[in-house]
């Protein structure tokens, strides 16, 4: 018999970078780094095992109790029945139709938050939103788990949309490298997280930029509960989680009382310092915000605060704030206070000075590129205007019709009867998962498109098997990257999986809106249409992009959009001409005091930044829950993706929990012990990793493990979200409070 084996190698792109893929006999067998990437991520190494994993959903599946009795009970524990595609699509379409006819489209939740992997066309969330818009609309969500709180507070402070500020206006790394003498990094800047960037990152360079800043003599100070939140050459100022605002206030106090504050800047470019000052000095509340006051709250020596404040005033200083700080109760405060502190230093608008956000969160932050947008699937118009803050999903399910506050508005939660999720894993990303599991029993029907039997898929009524990016053709491109990829279809769909597009086209046909959804195009025709429009847009900007046939052949190109003389500085135009280029705030200036926010009357987010401790932190730790849990991003993957493969590695699960030797010794825990991490909300297993590089009293458990089956009183793999607190950051931001959690740890 002839040898029919074929071997081919192609390059594809992903949220964690480009990589080479070897395919043999319709199987992905290996991956290798992409040549031009100076610091490739190792995340792709898990791709071959994950794509062909036994936990793939192979056929459309209906939960038996739902199929037979439309029964809600048993989500998560019931068996599934595999049915042919046509039958599953019929059932789902009939159910969507029933719900919209009997309860209106306001009863359908389609927020569907998540980082599903795709190129430009197959982006699952966009596909779902377009489909639901064609079918009469859905309740949507605002913001992200990443930056939801910042997206609400920062427009009040700088006027600008936070994401635009972040991605389009902040100082680039080249500016920082050229000008910054002191880099003060709240929450660090971690190349581990910068492995990832939404839509793709080809040249990973965050780590090398930090190293180059250090080599040039910049002092880089990592203010964080973990030393590993920044690279080796950085100094570490360890502090208790959620105490940053107190530290920033004490720095501000030193600047003011030692006459180091830039009053000319405050007068010309800000409003409200005079309302803030009585609070800083303690005239309004009897407590001056001195280093002696902040020191014990933060667990930092008061002298270190004095020294840092003087250093910041004497040098070109950039304050950077990790996104993690606003992923906690009162997360608005450190973001606002960092902006006030930078205003007092008077360096906002100077290159390499002022304030910046998330340089370690996303690899694309700080790259200096000429903006070139486009290639987004048009989502149409949503006839339903209900939008909830994304992290309030469980609250919404629990409290139909109940009022909630959000950024100055009071609204009522909709009464959700049907949830459709595609491209996200709420049983990875949401807080207090045991409570979500209960709230999740309320809707009548839950439909999920997923490649894998995740905890979310297992808790659905109808599961459609979705392809992964390796099973379909797409275009890889990110606004924050200067490469463009053809993402070839590398293998046929695994099992009976279909593209999200095909699934929604099938549902649209059954609901009578096929033409509106597909516009008569196949997936390939859509890709071509979006690509050609992008190419036209690029041509108008004077940038040559090859035609699709050429890109298919070449696999990738580097676009000539690198800014070769980068000098981008946040708020430089405002600094140069505050009267003719005012900020889009009510005052036209940086708002240290906000009349708008004060007018909301929120005690959890008053008119100027304040020290508002969260409901759980080391300052109010109890015997029952004496340790502060932080739950950072996993280094070996993106959230819960590729977990199928990683969980198979011997010894890899449960996930490693980092704890300090003192905390371990007190509990008789030694390196490698299996432990139980617990509080009143839940418990999970973890594997103890003992390290002096974490603040005593703090434990760190990365996110990403798949949440276990119901009925077990301990989550087996180590998902921190069984422990985290599900409250909004405040009535203003309503972001997620993932970093607010006290726990205890015991040997198992």
Ligand X SMILES: Nc1nc2c(c(=O)[nH]1)N[C@H]1C(S)=C(S)[C@@H](COP(=O)(O)OP(=O)(O)OC[C@H]3O[C@@H](n4cnc5c(=O)[nH]c(N)nc54)[C@H](O)[C@@H]3O)O[C@H]1N2
Asked whether 70 and 444 are in contact (CB, 8 A), the reply is yes
Helices (H), 351-447: 393-398, 426-429, 433-439
Work out how close the CB of 186 gets to ligand X at its nearest, in angstroms, rounded to a whole number: 5
Question: Which residues form the interface with ligand X (CB under 6 A)?
Answer: 114-118, 122, 124, 145-146, 186-188, 192-193, 195-196, 223-226, 229, 241-242, 244, 322-325, 327-328, 360-362, 422-425, 428-429, 449-452, 454, 466, 468, 500, 630-635, 638-641, 703, 720-721, 724, 738-739
E runs forming strands in 279-357: 317-321, 354-357
Residue 113 annotated as catalytic: yes
Tokens of 274: 């005079």
Biggest alpha carbon distance in the chain?
90
Distance CA(671)–CA(669), nearest Å, equals 7
**Adjacent-strand bridge partners of 484:** 557
Q: Does 125 bind Mo ion (CB under 5 A)?
A: no
Shortest CB 685 distance to ligand X, Å = 16
Smallest gap from residue 674 Cβ to ligand X (A): 21
Bridge partners, residue 418, by sequence: 108, 445
Q: Are the CB atoms for 372 and 537 separated by under 8 Å?
A: yes
631 binds, among ligand X, Mo ion, none (CB under 5 to 8 A by kind): ligand X
Report the partner that residue 424 touches, choosing among ligand X, Mo ion, none (CB closer than 5 to 8 A by kind): ligand X
Tell me the three state secondary structure of residue 235. strand
- Give the residue with the Cβ less far from ligand X, 192 or 417: 192
Catalytic: which of 113, 209, 236, 336? 113
For residues 106 and 229, which CB has a smaller minimum distance to ligand X in the complex? 229
Neighbour order of strands in the sheet with 182-186: 235-238, 219-224, 182-186, 317-321, 354-357
- Contact pattern from residue 428 through residue 467 relative to Mo ion, giving x for each residue in contact according to CB under 5 A and a dash for the rest: ----------------------------------------
Instruction: Give whichever of 146 and 431 is closer to Mo ion, judged by the CB atom.
Output: 146
Q: Three-class SS of residue 620?
A: helix
Q: How far is the CB of 326 from Mo ion (least distance, A)?
A: 11
Asked if 146 and 115 touch (Cβ cutoff 8 Å), the reply is no
Residue count, binding to Mo ion (CB under 5 A)? 1
Q: List the single partner that 408 binds among Mo ion, ligand X, none, CB under 5 to 8 Å by kind.
A: none
Considering the complex, state which of residue 100 and residue 639 has its C-beta at the smaller distance from ligand X.
Answer: 639
* Catalytic option among 66, 109, 115, 256: 115
Rounded to whole angstroms, the Cα distance separating 241 from 741 reads 10
Q: How many CB atoms lie within 10 A of CB 29?
A: 12
Output the CA torsion 489→491→494→495 (10° steps). Answer: 110
Q: What is the smallest separation between the CB atom of 322 and ligand X, expressed in angstroms? A: 4
Residue 353 interface partner, choices ligand X, Mo ion, none, CB cut-off 5-8 Å depending on type: none
d(CA 173, CA 535): 28
C-alpha 645/C-alpha 643 separation (Å) is 5
Nearer to ligand X, 243 or 594 (CB): 243
What strands lie across the sheet with 61-63, from one edge to the other?
80-82, 61-63, 462-465, 445-450, 418-422, 108-109
Asked about 695 being catalytic, the answer comes back as no
Q: Edge-to-edge, what's the strand order for the sheet holding 7-12? A: 7-12, 19-24, 27-33
* Distance in Å, CB of 437 to ligand X, minimum: 16
User: Least distance in Å: CB of 695 to ligand X?
Assistant: 9
**Residue 375 interface partner, choices ligand X, Mo ion, none, CB cut-off 5-8 Å depending on type:** none
Closest chain position to Mo ion (CB): 146
Q: Which is nearer to ligand X, 299 or 720 (CB)?
A: 720
Among 46, 133, 146, 206, binds Mo ion (CB under 5 A): 146
The binding site for Mo ion (CB under 5 A) comprises 146
Active site residues: 113, 115
């Amino acid at each position: 018999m002839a040898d029919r084996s074929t071997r081919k190698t192609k390059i594809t792109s992903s949220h964690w970078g480009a990589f080479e893929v070897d395919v043999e006999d319709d199987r992905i067998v290996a991956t290798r780094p992409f040549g031009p990437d100076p610091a490739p991520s190792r995340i792709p190494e898990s791709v071959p095992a994950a794509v062909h994993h036994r936990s793939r959903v192979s056929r459309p599946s209906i939960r038996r109790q739902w199929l037979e009795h439309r029964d809600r009970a048993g989500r998560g524990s019931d068996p599934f029945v595999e049915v042919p595609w046509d039958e599953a699509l019929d059932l789902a379409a009939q159910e969507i139709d029933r719900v919209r006819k009997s309860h209106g489209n306001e009863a359908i939740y389609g927020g569907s938050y998540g980082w599903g992997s795709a190129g430009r066309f197959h982006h699952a969330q966009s596909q779902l939103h377009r489909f639901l818009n064609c079918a009469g609309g859905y309740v949507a969500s605002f913001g992200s788990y990443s930056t939801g709180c910042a997206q609400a507070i920062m427009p009040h402070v700088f006027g600008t949309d936070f994401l635009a500020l972040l991605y389009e206006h902040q100082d680039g790394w080249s500016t920082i490298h050229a000008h910054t003498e002191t880099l003060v990094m709240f929450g660090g800047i971690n190349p581990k997280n910068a492995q990832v960037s939404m839509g793709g990152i080809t040249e990973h360079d965050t780590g090398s930029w930090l190293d180059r800043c250090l080599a040039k003599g910049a002092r880089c100070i990592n203010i964080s509960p973990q030393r590993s939140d920044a690279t080796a050459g950085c100094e570490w100022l360890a502090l208790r989680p959620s105490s940053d605002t107190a530290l920033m206030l004490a720095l501000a106090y030193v600047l003011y009382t030692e006459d180091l504050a830039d009053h000319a800047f405050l007068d010309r470019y800000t409003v409200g310092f005079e309302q803030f000052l009585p609070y800083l000095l303690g005239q309004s509340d009897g407590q001056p915000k001195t280093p002696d006051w902040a020191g014990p709250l933060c667990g930092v020596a008061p002298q270190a605060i004095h020294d840092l404040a003087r250093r910041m005033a004497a040098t070109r200083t950039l304050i950077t704030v990790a996104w993690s700080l606003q992923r906690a109760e009162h997360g608005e405060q450190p973001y606002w206070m960092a902006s006030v502190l930078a205003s007092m230093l008077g360096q906002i608008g100077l290159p390499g000075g002022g304030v910046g956000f998330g340089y370690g969160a996303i690899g694309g932050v700080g790259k200096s590129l000429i903006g070139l947008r486009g290639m987004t699937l048009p989502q149409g118009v949503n006839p339903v205007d209900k939008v909830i803050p994304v992290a309030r999903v469980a609250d919404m399910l629990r409290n139909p019709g109940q009022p909630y506050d959000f950024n100055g508005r009071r609204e009522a939660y909709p009464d959700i009867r049907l949830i459709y999720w595609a491209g996200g894993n709420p049983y990875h990303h949401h807080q207090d998962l045991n409570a979500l599991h209960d709230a999740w029993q309320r809707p009548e029907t839950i439909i999920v498109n997923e490649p894998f039997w995740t905890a979310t898929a297992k808790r659905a009524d109808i599961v459609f098997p979705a392809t992964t990016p390796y099973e379909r053709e797409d275009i890889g491109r990110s606004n924050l990257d200067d490469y463009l990829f053809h993402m070839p279809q590398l293998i046929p769909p695994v099992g009976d999986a279909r593209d999200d597009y095909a699934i929604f086209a099938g549902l649209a046909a059954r609901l009578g809106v096929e033409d509106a959804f597909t516009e008569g195009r196949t997936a390939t025709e859509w890709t071509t249409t979006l690509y050609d429009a992008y190419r036209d847009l690029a041509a108008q900007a004077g940038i040559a992009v090859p035609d699709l046939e050429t890109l298919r052949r070449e696999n990738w190109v580097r676009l000539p959009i690198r800014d070769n003389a980068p000098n981008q500085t946040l708020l430089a135009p405002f600094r140069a001409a505050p009267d003719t280029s005012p900020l889009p705030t009510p005052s036209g200036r940086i708002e240290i005091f906000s009349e708008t926010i004060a007018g909301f009357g929120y005690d959890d987010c008053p008119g100027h930044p304040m020290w508002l401790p969260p409901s759980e932190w080391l300052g109010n730790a109890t015997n029952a829950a004496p340790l502060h849990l932080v739950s950072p991003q996993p280094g070996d993957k993106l959230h819960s993706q590729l977990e199928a493969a990683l969980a198979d590695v011997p010894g890899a699960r449960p996930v490693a929990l980092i704890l300090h030797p003192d905390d371990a010794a007190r509990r008789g825990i030694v390196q490698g012990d299996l432990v139980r991490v617990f509080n009143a909300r839940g418990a999970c297993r973890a594997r103890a990793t003992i390290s002096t590089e974490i603040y005593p009293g703090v434990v760190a458990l990365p996110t990403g493990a798949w949440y276990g089956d119901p009925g077990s009183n301990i989550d087996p793999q180590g998902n921190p979200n069984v422990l985290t607190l599900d409250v909004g950051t405040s009535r203003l931001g309503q972001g997620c409070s993932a970093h607010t959690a006290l726990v205890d740890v015991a040997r198992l």
